[in-house]
């Protein structure tokens, strides 16, 4: 076990290392900035009418481009059309989820009466796997984790209501986890052994919901006093989404029950929602002055940060962030921007994790800012977002720092 004396011995040793390393950090920045610097990457493919970025993971981004499921790897030129040719050019498709190199969503099948089919891909249109359960009339995938996919299916077997559903890579693996007594339900997010989404008892009032793999495990997360609530993201064992109070959407978080609701609504916003989350970061939008602004949070309302301001001036009336992911060096947030009337355009915001000074470079102010936080046991030194500050944060920061921006 890691005890206090070892920790201080370790820190004395690492302090010596720091002093040696600090000498080698020659680049100086006179006035460190207070805000993180985000870089905007245009994912909107040339020549198309509209596109959406809906999910990011493991270096891949997915969504929709010109009515077809789309896969990107970091640039608009990288776009791959996932729409299976056998579905026909007159139908549509969307990819909502990406996880470990696989993509999930739906494909409309049939030109006369198009029917949504839950779908799974492995990077190309040719890899398409139809997950549509036998006998269903429509189905779709909204989330993935490990080897499992989550979404909904509807058909005569469900009295033609949408039922929250899980799959394990093929149509026959379909599993209905609809809560008893509910009208409709669907899965929107998945983590290890846990699923989140919405349950409807009336047509227009969803209740944020939590499952642990079975219909019986269902937990209603709907906060007291809310008229509607939706659970849209999972990370760190927490559930994220929004609830509507007095007609206004409020972004927020749950741990495991309706009572655990924590409001993330930013001061000055008229509405806010969380659409995606990854370890230590939540993303969505806040409505400011009547305009939707893509934004991020770091585990609390007060940590709210506006991403809309990083879009080129004059190019967008609004924006929304849908999903986040992070590796050692960079944080990635995908979403879309829009003008009025709205053609949506897929966009990705990226940030260099070690650039604490916000000047776009890994430089000495970042280095010393991290050291100061680390030796003060400040939560800001929790570089790997595991809720403790220890030597692993130091080594992760150093690796990322010397990898650069």
* Interface of this chain with Ca ion, residues 193 to 222, rule: CB under 5 A: none
x/- mask, Ca ion, residues 297-336, rule CB under 5 A, reads ----------------------------------------
| Closest to Ca ion by CB, 54 or 356 | 356
**Going edge to edge, which strands form the sheet with 129-130?**
93-99, 102-109, 115-121, 129-130
Contact 85, 93 (CB under 8 A): no
Shortest Å distance, C-beta 398 to Ca ion: 13
Among candidate residues 52, 49, 131, 125, the one with its CA nearest the CA of residue 87 = 125
| Closest to Ca ion by CB, 184 or 355 | 355
DSSP 92: -
Other C-beta atoms closer than 10 Å to the C-beta of 26 total 8
First to last CA, the chain: 34
Interacting stretch for Ca ion, rule CB under 5 A, among 11-19, 297-305, 312-320, 381-389?
381-389
* Residue 366 makes contact with Ca ion by CB under 5 A: yes
| Residue 258 to residue 241: CA distance in whole angstroms | 12
Interacting stretch for Ca ion, rule CB under 5 A, among 51-59, 123-131, 240-248, 377-385?
377-385
Shortest Å distance, C-beta 389 to Ca ion: 6
Q: Which listed residue (64, 184, 198, 363) binds Ca ion by CB under 5 A?
A: 363
| Closest to Ca ion by CB, 24 or 113 | 24
| Closest to Ca ion by CB, 291 or 364 | 364
x/- mask, Ca ion, residues 27-56, rule CB under 5 A, reads ------------------------------
| Closest to Ca ion by CB, 27 or 126 | 27
Q: Which listed residue (393, 394, 397, 401) binds Ca ion by CB under 5 A?
A: 393
Q: Which listed residue (384, 397, 398, 400) binds Ca ion by CB under 5 A?
A: 384
* Interface of this chain with Ca ion, residues 223 to 252, rule: CB under 5 A: none
* Residue 355 makes contact with Ca ion by CB under 5 A: yes
Interacting stretch for Ca ion, rule CB under 5 A, among 147-155, 187-195, 242-250, 388-396?
388-396
Shortest Å distance, C-beta 171 to Ca ion: 42
The DSSP H or E segment spanning 291 is strand 291-297
| Residue 314 to residue 373: CA distance in whole angstroms | 38
Rounded to an integer, what is the distance from CA 92 to the centroid of its chain? Answer: 23
DSSP 228-259: EEEEEEEETTEEEEEEEETTEEEEEEESSSGG
Shortest Å distance, C-beta 11 to Ca ion: 14
* Residue 359 makes contact with Ca ion by CB under 5 A: yes
| Closest to Ca ion by CB, 50 or 329 | 329
Shortest Å distance, C-beta 355 to Ca ion: 4
Q: How many residues bind Ca ion (CB under 5 A)?
A: 10
Does residue 325 sit in helix, strand or coil? strand
| Closest to Ca ion by CB, 263 or 396 | 396
| Backbone torsions φ then ψ of 126, nearest 5 degrees | -65, -20
CA gyration radius for the chain? 22
Q: Residue 332 class from Cβ within 10 Å (0-12 exposed, 13-18 middle, 19+ buried)?
A: buried
* Residue 357 makes contact with Ca ion by CB under 5 A: yes
| Residue 374 to residue 355: CA distance in whole angstroms | 15
Other C-beta atoms closer than 10 Å to the C-beta of 374 total 23
The residue of the chain with the least Cβ separation from Ca ion equals 357
Contact 321, 285 (CB under 8 A): yes
Residues making contact with Ca ion (CB under 5 A): 355, 357, 359, 361, 363, 366, 382, 384, 386, 393
């Amino acid at each position: 076990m890691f005890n206090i004396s070892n920790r201080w011995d370790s820190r004395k040793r690492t302090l010596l290392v720091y002093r040696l390393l600090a000498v080698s950090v020659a680049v100086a920045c006179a006035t460190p900035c207070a805000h993180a610097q985000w870089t905007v990457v245009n994912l909107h493919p040339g020549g198309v009418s509209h596109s959406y970025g809906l999910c990011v993971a493991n270096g891949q981004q997915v969504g929709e481009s010109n009515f077809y499921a789309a896969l990107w790897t970091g640039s608009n030129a990288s776009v791959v059309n996932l729409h299976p040719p056998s579905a026909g050019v007159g139908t549509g498709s969307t990819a909502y989820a990406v996880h470990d190199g696989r993509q999930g969503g739906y494909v409309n099948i049939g030109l006369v009466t198009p029917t949504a089919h839950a779908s799974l891909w492995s990077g190309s249109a040719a890899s398409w796997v139809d997950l549509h359960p036998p006998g269903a009339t429509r189905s779709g995938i909204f989330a993935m984790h490990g080897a499992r996919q989550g979404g909904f299916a509807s058909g005569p077997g469900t009295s033609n209501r949408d039922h929250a559903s899980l799959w394990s890579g093929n149509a026959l693996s379909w599993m209905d986890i609809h809560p008893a007594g509910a009208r409709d339900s669907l899965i929107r997010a998945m983590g290890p052994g846990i699923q989140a989404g919405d349950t409807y008892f009336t047509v227009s009032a969803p209740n944020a919901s939590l499952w642990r793999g079975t219909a019986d495990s269902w937990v209603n997360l709907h906060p007291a006093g809310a008229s509607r609530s939706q659970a849209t993201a999972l990370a760190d064992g927490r559930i994220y989404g929004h609830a509507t109070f007095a007609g206004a959407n409020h972004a927020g978080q749950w741990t495991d029950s309706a009572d655990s609701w924590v409001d993330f609504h930013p001061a000055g916003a008229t509405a806010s929602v969380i659409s995606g989350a990854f370890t230590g970061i939540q993303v969505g939008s806040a409505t400011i002055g009547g305009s939707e602004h893509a934004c991020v949070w770091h585990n609390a309302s007060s940590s709210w940060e506006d991403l809309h301001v990083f879009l080129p001036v004059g190019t967008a009336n609004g924006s929304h962030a849908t999903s986040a992911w992070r590796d050692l060096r960079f944080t990635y947030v995908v979403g879309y921007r829009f003008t009025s009337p709205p053609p949506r355009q897929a966009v990705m915001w990226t940030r260099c994790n070690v650039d604490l000074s916000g000047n776009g470079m890994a430089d000495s102010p970042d280095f010393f800012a991290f050291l100061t936080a680390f030796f003060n046991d400040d939560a800001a030194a929790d570089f790997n977002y595991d809720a403790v500050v220890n030597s692993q944060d130091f080594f992760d920061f150093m690796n990322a720092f010397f990898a650069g921006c």
